[in-house]
Every structure is written in C-alpha cells, then in structure tokens.
Copies of this chain bind each other. A is one copy, B any other.
Amino acid sequence: MEQNNGRQEPVLTGWRRRGHEIIFEAETPAGRAFDVGLIGAILASVIVVMLESVAVVRARHGAFLYALEWGFTILFTIEYVLRLWCVGRPWRYATSFFGIIDLLAVLPTYLSVLLPGTQYLLVLRLLRILRVFRVLKLVQYLSEAHLLAKALQASRRKITVFLFAVLTLVVIFGSLMYLIEGPAHGFTSIPRSIYWAIVTLTTVGYGDIAPQTNLGQALAAMIMILGYGVIAVPTGIVTVELSRATHTVSTRACPACGADGHDADAVFCKYCGTHL
C-alpha cells in the first residue's frame, strides 16, 4: 500500500527481500506475526509513557519505566533502520506518511536528553497503530472509513463557510461581553472573552468564567440558544453528504450513448432516450 504507487519497484534479493516480506507485508505468517507483535509493542510503549506521567507511579517505578522507554525506543529505531534498508526506495518511504510517523515515534526520547519533558510526545506512536487496519485485514472497516472521509470531504466547503460564520460570531460576541462584563468578572481581555464565547457556543460550559451582570447573562442566554440551534447545521451537512455517499445509484450505462448515473427506476436513457 505504501510502495505501490505506480512506478516499477526495484527488485529486492536475498535478505533484503526476506526482510521486506516480514516487515512490509502481512500475507505471510512471519509478516503477520511481526505486525501483531509490533502493535503490542506500540500499545505497551504508549502505556509506559502514560504511566510515567503519573507522579505516584513515577516515584515508585521511575527507573524501571525509564529503562522500558529506552528499550522500546531502541527497538523502534532498529525497526526504522531495517525498514530503510529493506525497502526498494528508502527516500520515498522516509517521506511517506507512515515513514514520518515512524521517525516521530523515536525522536522524542533522544530529544528528551536535551529538552526534558518532550518524551511525552511519544504518544504520537499511537498513530502507528493506524496500520492495524491494514494488518488485521479490516478491509470493510477501511471502506467504511473511506465512506466517512468521502462524506466529510464533500461537505468541506459548506463546513468552511459554517466555521467562518461561527468564528466571526464568536469574535463579535466575545468583544461585546468584554465591554459588558469587563475584567472585574473574569473577562480580562478580548481573547479570553472569545475563549469564553467558544466555551459557551459549543455548549461545553466549564463555568470557570461566567457572566454575572444581568445584561451579560441575557447576552449569554442568546449565545447559548444560538449555539444550540447552530449545531444543527454541521449535523445536517454531514447527514446529507453521508446519505448521498451511501445512496447507490444504478451502475447501468446507456448502450447507445454510454452515459451513466441513471436512477434505479429508469427505463430509458435520460440523455438520448434509448431503452436501457
């Protein structure tokens, strides 16, 4: 999937061919075992990173987790080098989506020697699990994901227009609330008021900042009802596009003019009038 983008692959021989089979392919038993083991290692390493961030656990098992983290990093580094070695076009792999993710999955540990804290970025390793769909032959899931992606892409423009409208509203409402409530009630600046407007419009409602004057509460109530109604718009957009993507238009082509896209109940070609 990652390499077969049209051009002829260089022919691999000997160990490199064997390594390519194991690491990049999932059909052979060895390749499948490798992939399942890899997923286990990724999940384990993400859990190690999470545990390390918990103060109580770090205090007790810090050294052990630190060692594990380095162990996983060295393992993934070796794997990355092997991938580079046994792939036909190393550069193309290194610059592909999964190639970059594979690199980002090891860099933070090395970086954390210089900049403490960056090792938490290792959770990006989780993105490597996207391979799970390829490995476990979840082809049907892939097609469902593709359907969702298609519907989201088709609604791209409508959602851009919608987001632009929401952002304009949020800036204007945020500034108004800054004028009405002011720094005394937690609305310390326009950017912070805009943050509050987003928290309110999206119905999250933390309550860390809340209007206290009558006018402010009246305006807030308006924003809430607006946000409550406005959520209907992206839902409507996605539903219509999903419905269209799911809808199965007849695949018959007209025998005379070759046009397709006929309705399922069409008897004659709608373009040239020939009987289908």
Contacts and interface: CB of A to CB of B under 8 A. Distances in A.
A90 interface: no
A218 B220 CA distance: 20
Interface residues of A, number: 101
A259 B263 CA distance: 10
Interface stretch (A65-73, A79-87, A197-205): A197-205
A179 B144 contact: no
A49 to B, nearest CB: 7
A26 interface: no
Copies of this chain in its oligomeric complex: 4
B166 A225 contact: yes
Q: How would you classify the secondary structure of chain A's contact residues: helix, strand, loop or mixed?
A: helix
Contacts of A109: none
Given A183-B55, A231-B228, A264 B261 contact: yes
Contact of A190 (B118, B120, B190, B271): B120
A210 B217 contact: no
Interface of A: 46, 49-50, 53-55, 117-118, 120-121, 123-124, 126-127, 129, 140-141, 144-145, 147-148, 151-152, 157-163, 166, 168, 171-172, 175, 178-179, 183, 188-192, 194-195, 198-208, 210, 214, 217-218, 220-221, 224-225, 227-229, 231-244, 246, 257-275
21 contacts: A54-B189, A54-B191, A55-B183, A123-B175, A127-B168, A148-B161, A151-B236, A163-B229, A195-B221, A199-B224, A202-B224, A205-B205, A206-B210, A231-B235, A232-B234, A235-B238, A260-B265, A262-B270, A268-B271, A268-B272, A269-B273
